[in-house]
Amino acid sequence: MKKLLLVVALLFATSMLFSQALISSQGGRNGNNGNKDCVDCSEDFIKQVPTTPAPTSVNFVQINTNEIYQQGYDNEAKVEQKGGGNFSDIDQTGEYLFTGYFSGNRYYRDGDENVANVDQEGIQNWSQIEQRGNENDADVDQEGFQNVSMIEQLGDDNETDVDQDGDNNFGMVFQDGEDNDADIEQDGDDNYANQSQIGDDNDADIEQDGDDNVAYQSQTGNNNDADIEQDRDGNYADQSQTGNDNDADIEQDGDDNVAFQSQTGNNNEADIEQDSFMFWRSDDNYAAQTQTGDDNKADIKQVGDDNIGVQTQTGDYNNADLDQLGDDNFSMETQTSVTGSTPGGDWFNNSRVFQDGTDNVSCVTQNVKKAGVFNYSYVMQLGHDNEAFIYQQACKNSNTSFTVQVGLDNMACVKQMGNMTVAQQ
């Protein structure tokens, strides 16, 4: 009897070395599988290879775990896990259907032709995929230690790719609509990426190479495009788009750079580029762009240290462009126009600022109260300790200001309020 118990104990201990997989497949709401066979559990679909366990004070074998639940037809789930303590959860069961606007009752409609692929290699990686709808595609590739990926897709024809290589990376994607595309690629440690898409035909991309980088993307509407690319360490990027046909791009190459972009309206374009150039390191830069209205354009390029660029546009057909090269530069542009105006081939507010040197400061504020008129300001500063302040307010007429400063210890202040005023220095 003792020998029998010993044999049973050895068999139980040996079984703990293998992975576990829970699979449930249903073809309809009532559990009828439509005379189809169960999900194929061959190595073509699920492959888990336990290797060397994680180094801990207690020597035990960590088990890879996989859970798959599918409801509908022609859904495909493929999981491959190498290492120990990895977890994968795939849920493909159609989409939410509400029986009434206020009842809150809901049930699942079967989803067809959804595809989910998970490939994890390392220790204690975690992946969760939830798809509601038809022909959604989700791919996760994680390699390292304690990486986390969460994907939720509601609707049809959505596509998501999450690729994380390193330790303690986190990627989250939420899609509600049709034909949305979201991509996250993180290479390094302790990176965080969060994407949210509500609407149709939206495109969001996050690429981070380094450590301790953070990126947020939020899109509400249709045909929006958002891109974030961050290299090196400690960078932060946040993009928010509400409306249709908006385009936002953030590119940061350096350490501890911060960039914000907010677009509310249609057909807006915003671009922030904070990259290192030659012997200039692009570190500790701050850039913020806010666009409220339609057909606005904003561009910020900063190279150097401790640069700050802020652009705020309210109304339609505004255009702001800013270049800063050097150290301790500061620039703020604020433009306000009236909605309901026709562009006529011109921008209503147009501001162009270029600064090259150290300790430069430029502030431009433009305000339009009536359709058909526009402000224009151009500021260029080269040298050291330059300052320029321009304020323009046009009512029925347009203001124009040119300020160019080359040298040391320069300062210019221009204030204009309507009636075809022109200032040049």
Q: Is 366 helix (H, G, I), strand (E, B) or coil?
A: strand
Q: Please name the residue that has the structure tokens 């546009």.
A: 313
Cβ-count burial 344-368 (b if 16+ within 10 Å, e if not): eeebbbbbbbbbbbbbbbbbbbbbb
pLDDT above 80: residue 242: yes
Q: Please name the residue that has the structure tokens 């666009």.
A: 291
In this prediction, residues 216-244 reach a mean pLDDT of 96
Could you tell me which of 402, 408, 410, 362 has the C-alpha nearest to residue 383? 408
Q: Please name the residue that has the structure tokens 């599918």.
A: 70
CA distance 390 to 411: 11
In this prediction, residues 167-171 reach a mean pLDDT of 96
Radius of gyration, CA atoms only, the chain: 28
In this prediction, residues 198-211 reach a mean pLDDT of 96
pLDDT at 91: 77
Q: What CA dihedral angle connects 333, 249, 138 and 219, to 10 degrees?
A: 30
Beta strand 20-26 with 225-231: parallel, antiparallel or unpaired? unpaired
pLDDT at 65: 80
> 31-45, 71-85, 238-252, 353-367 — which one is most confidently predicted on average?
238-252
Q: Please name the residue that has the structure tokens 């502030």.
A: 363
Residues with Cβ within 8 Å of 409's Cβ and at least 6 positions away in sequence, in order, are 384, 385, 386
Please count the residues of the chain: 425
**Which stretch of 14-28, 246-260, 350-364 has the lowest confidence by average pLDDT?**
14-28
CA distance 323 to 143: 39
CA distance 170 to 180: 21
Q: How distant, in Å, are the alpha carbons of 41, 123, 145, 193 from that of 169? A: 30, 13, 9, 8
pLDDT at 133: 86
CA distance 372 to 346: 10
pLDDT tens track for 104-133:
333 334 567 888 898 989 998 999 998 888
- What's the mean pLDDT when you consider all of the chain? 78
CA distance 202 to 290: 20
pLDDT above 60: residue 37: no
